[in-house]
Amino acid sequence: MEMKRINAGKLRAIGYEPRERMLRVEFDDGSAIDYAGVGTEVWRRLSTSGSAWSYFRDNIEDEFSGRRGVARTQKKPNPLEELFKAASDDAES
């Protein structure tokens, strides 16, 4: 499932699998919920909404059954973090 990164309220990414009618919503705390039985029109409205967080709260959150999981989209690693982490580890030795 391809995820679309967004920044709307607590939402950080959304994705949809039309054959399975499965919507995945990922949150800023690293959690995710997969919603079953979501139609393409609901996905279209969510993915094009100017206020995806409000649309999610009003039309998806309590209307569809969801299964909790862990977000798949991860923040890209910063190579400088590894560089400076390694340098500080050497200084402690």
| Radius of gyration, alpha carbons of the chain | 17
User: Longest Cα pair distance anywhere in the chain, in angstroms?
Assistant: 59
More reliable by pLDDT, 3 or 82 = 3
Render pLDDT for 18-54 as a digit per residue (tens, 0 to 9): 999 999 999 999 999 999 999 999 999 999 998 999 9
Angle, alpha carbons 20-26-32 (nearest 5°): 75
Stated pTM of the model: 0.73
